[in-house]
Structure formats: structure tokens, C-alpha cells
Amino acid sequence: MSLQKKIKELEYRIFNLEKSLDLLSKKLSQVEETLPFYYNESQEDQTLNAENLLSMKDACSLLNINETKIMEWVKKDLISFERVGELTYFDKNELKILFRKMMIQDLE
């Protein structure tokens, strides 16, 4: 293969690589533009309000039940929880609503 032919082949490869790089750059820009929208949306869902969170111990005291009962409710998906490290927290308002529902069911 002659030197001129090799040079032309390399120029063609470089041209194709530049086209691919431009396309990739455009796609990356599109992702960067849409990423904040999705990131902000998920951040709003995960915002924890520390004032409404109760530790396992506090939740047990509030409801006058033991940890086993609360974990039964968690397994039955009656209440949700948040983990921070190894600690488990519950939403105070959600616990109150659940407790009211259970009291009403017991009365019926």
C-alpha cells in the first residue's frame, strides 16, 4: 500500500472519529440538560423532615407497643420507614394515622 493511500485512509478514519465525537458531544449535552430535572425531582421525594421523624424507641413509646409489633407493620407494608445509617426512623404523622385507623377497626 502506498504512502499516499495510507494517509488518505487515516484522514478518512480521523474524519469519521470527529463526526462520532461531535454526535457523542451533542448527546452528552442533551443528557446534561435533562439531568437536573430528574435529579431535582428525586431530591424532593427524598427530603426528610427531621421534626416528623421518630426513632424506633420513640415510635414504640408514642404507640405504647414493642419493636416487634412495629416491625410486623413494616413487613406488612402498613408503615414506611427511613434508614439513616443503622438507625430506623418512622414518620410521626403516618404512625398517628395508622394508629387511628387501627383504633377505629377495633371499635367496629
| pLDDT tens figures, 83-103 | 888 889 999 888 888 888 887
Tell me which H or E stretch contains 105.
Answer: helix 92-107
| pLDDT tens figures, 2-37 | 899 999 898 999 999 999 998 998 888 888 777 776
Across the range 66-79, mean pLDDT stands at 90
pTM over 0.75: no
All residues at 6 or more sequence positions from 53 whose CB lies less than 8 Å from its CB, including other chains: 82, 89, 90, 91, 92
Instruction: Say what the pLDDT of residue 45 is.
Output: 47
Instruction: Say what the pLDDT of residue 43 is.
Output: 47
The Cα–Cα gap between 90 and 86 comes to 13
